[in-house]
């Protein structure tokens, strides 16, 4: 029995040869050649127009790359394939345009912040350390950040997960729609608004001074809608057949949710929880109003000012005003910023690893 002829025939050496059904195609090295031509043209334009920055030249090269490659494809492959290649090239170029600034920012923070990384920087505080004096570290700020974020997670995650369970399993009618609406509204609330709310009703209302737990309450308000939305999507991914099979065996709904739905969605719920924690870890505005800042170690989030990593960056850069550019406060600020980035990165990696570990195993 003869096998059907494919659209691409192959020679004895394995090299692909275009058949009449496929038509002419540009070579595989065409994108690299178009990229080289685009870079050369962008540099030439930059020289002729005397551009001082490289950002405009970068985006000019990206636009020229799309134009050159699409024009080449149009002249060789025809209008239909040229349109397809234009769309795919535009998507890839947009991805690169979004990735390059992120890589540059992370690289710059790493280069500036890693210079102060040592044991003293992680295990000593800034208590008694002046702006021009060497030494000191972020131990007090790291402890404050971990405690405040942990308290916020303890408050927000149960509320978010239980609300998501209600919306997916029980929510019907006007009340469920109202809950969904207010969750959507809370998603777009600026962080400073949450800070002002807690400041007005807690600190001003009860005459309290700033303390760490007040900041945790504000962060919990910001964390709840993220936890609700992400947990809701994870619960919706649980197949309906599992629920129906449990109901067919006479298992009540609450037990089905507890024994079937939650274990199946556990990996996704862990991921959504850690992503919600990572979302609020770097918040600064509520902490300025509610937590304050201190250079000493305060292990009690319910009493007195408490340092956090974002506030340490703000404090160190504020002390840099009027000093030389080589002042040690700038290096400490970059070190604290890099530590904050690494902390968020660890949370995201941990979310993926835990999701993989708790993923339901196929039998």
pLDDT in tens, 74-122: 888 888 888 888 888 888 878 887 888 888 888 999 998 888 888 888 8
Phi, psi for residue 26 in degrees, rounded to 5:
-75, 155
Q: Are residues 149 and 294 in the same domain?
A: yes
Residue 106's domain spans which residues? 8-114
Q: Are residues 206 and 287 in the same domain?
A: yes
- Both structure tokens of 262: 């939650």
Q: Which pLDDT score is estimated for 23?
A: 66
Asked if residue 321 has pLDDT above 90, the reply is no
Q: How big is the CA angle at 223 (ends 221 and 227), to the nearest 5 degrees?
A: 125
CB burial string 279-316: b at 16+ within 10 A, e below? bbbbbebbbbbbbbbbbebbeebeeebbbbbbbbbbbb
Sign for the CA dihedral angle at 182, 183, 185, 191 comes to: positive
Flag whether 181 is in a domain: yes
C-alpha distance from residue 318 to each of 91, 108, 313 (Å): 41, 20, 8
Q: Which pLDDT score is estimated for 217?
A: 93
Flag whether 175 is in a domain: yes
Flag whether 122 is in a domain: no
Q: Are residues 93 and 192 in the same domain?
A: no
- This prediction's pTM: 0.78
- Both structure tokens of 328: 């040690």
Q: Are residues 12 and 65 in the same domain?
A: yes
Specify the higher pLDDT residue, 113 or 131: 113
Q: Are 351 and 260 in contact (CB under 8 A)?
A: no
The total domain count for the chain is: 2
């Amino acid at each position: 029995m003869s096998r059907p002829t494919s659209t691409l025939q192959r020679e004895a050496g394995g090299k692909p040869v275009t058949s009449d059904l496929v038509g002419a195609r540009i070579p595989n090295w065409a994108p690299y050649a178009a990229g080289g031509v685009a870079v050369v043209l962008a540099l030439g334009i930059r020289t002729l127009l005397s551009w001082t920055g490289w950002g405009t030249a970068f985006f000019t090269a990206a636009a020229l790359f799309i134009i050159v490659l699409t024009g080449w494809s149009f002249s060789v492959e025809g209008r239909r394939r040229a349109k397809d290649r234009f769309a795919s090239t535009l998507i890839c170029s947009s991805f690169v345009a979004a990735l390059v600034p992120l890589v540059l920012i992370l690289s710059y923070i790493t280069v500036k912040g890693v210079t102060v990384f040592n044991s003293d920087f992680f295990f000593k505080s800034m208590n008694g350390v002046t702006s021009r004096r060497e030494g000191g570290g972020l131990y007090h700020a790291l402890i404050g950040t971990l405690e405040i974020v942990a308290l916020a997670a303890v408050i927000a995650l149960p509320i978010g997960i239980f609300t998501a369970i209600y919306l997916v399993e029980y929510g019907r009618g006007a009340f469920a729609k109202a809950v969904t609406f207010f969750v959507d509204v809370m998603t777009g609330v600026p962080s400073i608004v949450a800070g002002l709310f807690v400041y007005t009703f807690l600190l001003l209302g009860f005459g309290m001074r700033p303390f760490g737990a007040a900041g945790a309450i504000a962060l919990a308000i910001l964390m709840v809608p993220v936890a609700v939305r992400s947990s809701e999507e994870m619960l919706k991914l649980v197949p309906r057949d599992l629920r129906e099979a449990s109901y067919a065996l006479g298992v009540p709904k609450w037990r089905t949710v507890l024994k079937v739905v939650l274990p199946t969605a556990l990996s996704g719920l862990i991921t959504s929880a850690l992503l919600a924690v990572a979302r609020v870890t770097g918040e600064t505005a509520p902490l300025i109003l509610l937590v304050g800042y201190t250079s000493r170690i305060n292990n009690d989030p319910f009493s007195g000012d408490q340092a956090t990593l974002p506030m340490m960056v703000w404090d160190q850069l504020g002390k840099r005003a009027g000093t030389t550019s080589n002042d040690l406060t700038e290096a400490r600020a970059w070190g604290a910023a890099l530590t904050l980035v690494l902390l968020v990165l660890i949370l995201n990696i941990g979310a993926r690893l835990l999701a993989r570990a708790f993923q339901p195993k196929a039998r």
